[in-house]
Structure formats: structure tokens, C-alpha cells
Amino acid sequence: MPANRSIPIQAVPFRAGVPSEGVMAERSDPTDEETVIRIAAGSRSRRRKRRALEEIRSAAAETPVVETGPTGIRALEPLVLFTREDRTAFYPGSITGRLESLVETFERGELPTDDAIAVVEHEPTPSSLPTPEDGPLSVGRRRVLGRCGWVDPASVPDESAAELAGDDPDEALSRVRDVGLLGRGRGDWSVDDPVAEEWELAREAAAEGADEGDSEADEPVVVVNGNESDDRNATDRTLLEAAPGEVLDGALAVAELVGADDVVVYCNENDDRARERVHEAARNAEERFAERLDRESGPEVVVGPDRYIAGEPTMALEAMEGNDRLEARLRPPSPAEHGLYGRPTIVHTPRTMAQVRRALLAPDEFDADDADPGTRLFTVTGDVDAAATVELPTGGSLADVRETVDLEGRFKMACVGGQFGGFTRSLSQSPSAPALEGAELGTEGVVELLNEDNCVLATAGRRANFAMEENCGRCVTCREGSQELTNMLRDIYDGQYQDAKIRELTRVMGETSICQFGRTAIRPAVTGMREFEREVAAHTEGRCPSGECEGAMTQTAGRQAGGNR
């Protein structure tokens, strides 16, 4: 393998200055202490966290106070965790105003438990968050989320998948191949496909480049695609803010498997906290692995535009190469064959990298007989009190997400799969990719719980309009098809429900669009018409059963009346 050299990436490199509040500049991890106060919160709870920090630090004279990342349960943030030896008391952000007295009790040698939402007994200095027996933190399996909210986000885990992969890359690749791990998320080139297949392609492409004497084309690169602009989806952001060390360990493991010197983390330009956390963890990883893995440099952090299409794998590469106009690349070839600057490139999401790490270090958690081994992360949002990110076993029930949030109003439907998710009246499916795809739902990792005030036609129409405005414009099927779909859905308000034409249009878009954008943009309309056909048809008669479209119906009636004069 040629010596490592800097990639001329044109996306804006992230330059960190002074470590941000709570990001530890020193290498020691204060969360290893048996007596410590943790404050777990994400970037969306920054103000409340700051107030809690001020109150706690003003009273804590001797106890270490550590800011950790989010646990995934936003309703509890900032979550204050008082740990003394083998017990931890959990206090939600609503306790602000009483924290000073709780800290005083703690510094007297007592564990405060009055009004705690949970008190959990555990081994001294556990490596992951002790989970209560009930409440939102008890839902699912906290495996890749295990350290989220518990450890210093800048820390690098003691147990390393990268070192394991570096010792025997062939055996490690075989382990993941045998497990059958699938990629997670729309930003992953291997979404819902076995990741090991792309790794083997990258190896082959690198070998072919070396045989042809191409010194540049034979150098693979690994990209962690963390650029997610859809605010509904906090899965990858949660990992980058709370456990970037695990993500980087997985990425470095993949780099060892494919022989890549370069690892690049591609973040959204607006995710300041995630970038800061990844940068600090990358610096720590570089210090740790420089000698152990014979690496001359650590992972690089770059930023890309806050646009939905910038998260598509090949458009992410376009952004990293500095192209102002982002367009999906034709396929084949895949990025593993011809990716960033023509180099063999592996593109995975943070979720996938975290799963790779688990598959290498804890293979017993993965059943090769499962159609979708491992766990999946879901952000539960919509008409809820606060969004929550939860980790579910793929053999479980999607309905478990209801236990992590409080729904506002009566449940009507769920949209599963993010921006271009599918509508369903129930959550009876398992969270596995085959089950979700079989139900025409999305695997993006978002479950929106929607109440009776939501109209399925209006919701599907907004998402079709988003596709019309945000598509890259490269393929005619997606560019023209999304516009035609939007117009056909609008025509329903005028009494024209062209059911057959809509179904034919969506079939063509789904089968012939270049990338996942066009293939999935049809899903809200297709599933909305299937699950709520009567509600959609009612709009042709000037009725909106949910009441959301009353304004649109009035405008339609006015136009019709004007045309009859």
C-alpha cells in the first residue's frame, strides 16, 4: 500500500478551535470514576443543559461533573445521572431548580433518590448506560446506543474492532460476511444490502489498479456519511454527538479490511456539536492508533451542504469533490469500484459503522439465519411530546416505539421511513428491512406517529412537492415524474382522481429512477392511496375527513363557482 497522502477534498474541512463546553481536551475519561455526576443531552437541548450545568457546578465542590452526549430520549434531557459506586439515580431535565440541593446531598456521601425517575444498581464503573427496568430507556436493546449518554463523547473505547481487523483482515471480513450484516440508512451505498460485498469489490478494484500501475486508483478510501438534513431523523446525529469513538472504531476497522489509509467523516454544515465531537474523538483515535495500526494520520472531518440530496451516497462524493451542482452518479460502477476522485470508496452511515463494530466484537449478538441480523435505530417523532431515538432488535415489534413517547391526540397513522416513508394504520411489522420493505414502508429509521388532525392526501402532497423541488434533476424519470405526481395529487382537490395514471407513473419512477431519491419519492403517495383510499377519494367531493384541507377545499370551491358563472 502506498504511503498515506492527504486527499484533496474540496468540501469545507472542519477546523476546531478551543474544545467546546464539555468536550474533554485531556485523554483521561472522568466517567471512569465511581463517584461522578453526568449530564446527558444533545444539541437540541443545549439551553436547558447549560442552565443545569451552571446549577450543578455551582454546588459541586469535589465531585467530577461531566457532560456526556444524548441518550436518545429527548423528553428526559438534560438527564442528570448521579453515580456512587454501584448505583445510579436518574433525574430528568424538569428537575432544574432542585439540582443544587441534590448535589449537596450527593457531596455528603449519600445518593439522592427522592423523586428520581429510576435508581439502577450495576457493576462499579460500567462501560455502558445502566438501563432502568421501565420507562423509555428500557425499550429495545441498547447495544450501539449503550455508551450514549454515559461516556465522555471524545473518548475512544478500550475494546477496539479496528485492532481486531488489523490483526487479521481476511478473518474479520469473513466474520462480517458470514453474519450477513446489511447497511443502514439512505446515506449508505449498501443500504439494506450485505456490506461485505462492497468491501470485496473495493479490494478487487484496488488490486486491479495496482496491477495496472495506477498509483492513485489503487488507494481505497472509507467515507462515513453523516450528512443528514432531515430533522426527523436523529439516529446518526445521536451516535456522532454521543459515541463518535464507536463510529470511528468501526470506520477504522473497515479501513483495515479494505486496505484504506484514508478515513473521512462527512458531516452536515449545520451540525456543529456533532462535528466538534467527531473532531475530538478523531484526534484521540489518531493518537491511539498511530502505532498500533501503523497509520500516519487519523480520520479527517469535512462538512457538506445542508441539503437532502447531499446525503445520497454519490452526491455526497460530488460534494466532497467540490462540485456546486450535485447530481447522482450513474451506476454501475459503484463507489467501491470508482468513487472519490476515482478511488475505490466505501460509503457507510454512522449507524452501519457502529453495527460493524458490534459484529466484530460481539458476533454472538448476530444470528446469521436472520434476514436482517443485529439491531436498528429509529427516531420516533411526529405528533409527540418530544422525539426519541431507540434501538430495536430486528426480530421484535415496531410497535415498541410507542413506549418511548407520549402521543398528542388520537393515533391515526404512522409514516415509517422518513421524508419518503410509507403510511400504515398499524405498527405490527417487525423492524427488519425485509419486513418493512414487504409492507412498502421505508427503512430509513424514522417512525412518525400522526394523529387524526393529519390528512393523508395533504401529507403525501407535501412530500411529492418536496421531491419536485429538491431532486437533483439528472434523470428525467425523477425530475419530470415528481412534478407530474405533484400535479396529479393537486388535481384530486379539483375532482380529478386519476388513480390508474398515478399508479402507472409511480411504477415507472420506482423502476427507472437512477438513485433512491426517485425510487422512494413515490412511497407516500402509493401507500397513502392504498391505506386511505376512501379518505383520498373524499376530496373529489369537496370533503376532507380530517379537516386539515378545509382551506384548500374552500379555494377549490371558489374556483369551481367562478368557472360556472
Residue 50 lies in domain: 30-135
307 within a domain of the structure (yes/no): yes
Same domain, yes or no, for 436 and 544? no
Confidence of residue 369 (pLDDT cuts 50, 70, 90): confident
Strand partners, 381: 448
Of 451, 472, 504, the residue at which a domain comes to its end is 451
Confidence of residue 170 (pLDDT cuts 50, 70, 90): very high
Same domain, yes or no, for 173 and 275? yes
Tell me: pLDDT of 7 over 90: no
Same domain, yes or no, for 187 and 328? yes
Residue type, 62: E
Lowest mean pLDDT: which of 85-99, 130-144, 331-345? 85-99
CATH number at 431 reads 3.10.20.600
Mean pLDDT of the chain: 91
> For position 215, what pLDDT does the model report?
57
pLDDT digits (tens, 9 = 90+) for 145-164: 999 999 999 998 999 999 99
pLDDT digits (tens, 9 = 90+) for 476-533: 999 999 999 999 999 999 999 999 999 999 999 999 999 999 999 999 999 999 999 9
Same domain, yes or no, for 442 and 485? no
Same domain, yes or no, for 320 and 421? no
**CA gap 26, 386 in Å, rounded:** 34
Contact 128, 147 (CB under 8 A): yes
**Span between the terminal Cα atoms of the chain, in Å:** 79
Q: How far is CA 492 from the centre of its chain?
A: 35
Nearest partner of 394 among 143, 72, 175, judged by Cα: 143
Q: How far is CA 344 from CA 288, 337, 385, in A?
A: 26, 5, 44
Q: How far is CA 29 from the centre of its chain?
A: 26
pLDDT digits (tens, 9 = 90+) for 385-431: 999 999 999 999 999 999 999 999 999 999 999 999 999 999 999 99
φ, ψ of residue 162 in degrees (nearest 5): -65, -40
Same domain, yes or no, for 302 and 173? yes
Helices (H) and strands (E) in the chain, counts: 18, 15
Q: How far is CA 542 from CA 230, 494, 500, 531, 549, in A?
A: 33, 8, 21, 20, 10
Same domain, yes or no, for 243 and 95? no
> For position 291, what pLDDT does the model report?
66
CATH number at 40 reads 3.40.30
Tell me: pLDDT of 180 over 70: yes
144 within a domain of the structure (yes/no): no
Same domain, yes or no, for 482 and 361? no
pLDDT digits (tens, 9 = 90+) for 181-206: 999 999 999 999 999 999 999 999 99
Higher pLDDT, 2 or 530: 530
Same domain, yes or no, for 334 and 382? no
Grid cell locating 464: 411529492
Report the b/e string of 107-118 with b at 16+ CB within 10 A: eeeebbeeebbb
Tell me: pLDDT of 294 over 80: no
Same domain, yes or no, for 262 and 323? yes
Provide the phi-psi class of 193: left if phi over 0, else alpha when psi is between -120 and 50, else beta: beta
175 within a domain of the structure (yes/no): yes
**CA gap 456, 523 in Å, rounded:** 12
**CA gap 219, 196 in Å, rounded:** 18
In percent, the amount of the chain with pLDDT more than 90 equals 83
> For position 125, what pLDDT does the model report?
86
12 within a domain of the structure (yes/no): no
Grid cell locating 136: 423509555
**CA gap 179, 371 in Å, rounded:** 10
Same domain, yes or no, for 336 and 256? yes
Note the helical H segments in 419-549: 433-438, 456-470, 476-493, 499-512, 516-520, 523-531, 533-538
Query: Which DSSP letter does residue 258 get?
Result: H
Contact 518, 472 (CB under 8 A): no
> For position 287, what pLDDT does the model report?
83
Count CB neighbours of 231 within 10 A: 12
Domain count, the chain: 4
**CA gap 451, 411 in Å, rounded:** 5
**CA gap 241, 43 in Å, rounded:** 8
> For position 214, what pLDDT does the model report?
61
Scan for cell 407513473, then name that residue. 505
pLDDT digits (tens, 9 = 90+) for 206-265: 998 776 666 566 799 999 999 999 999 999 999 999 999 999 999 999 999 999 999 999
pLDDT (average), residues 544-564: 67
Grid cell locating 56: 450543578
Higher pLDDT, 247 or 22: 247
Measure the CA angle with vertex 535, ends 533 and 540; round to 5°.
95
Same domain, yes or no, for 379 and 298? no
pLDDT (average), residues 98-118: 94
Of 365, 395, 427, the residue at which a domain comes to its end is 365
Tell me: pLDDT of 565 over 90: no
* Cα pseudo-dihedral 301, 304, 308, 314, rounded to 10: -80
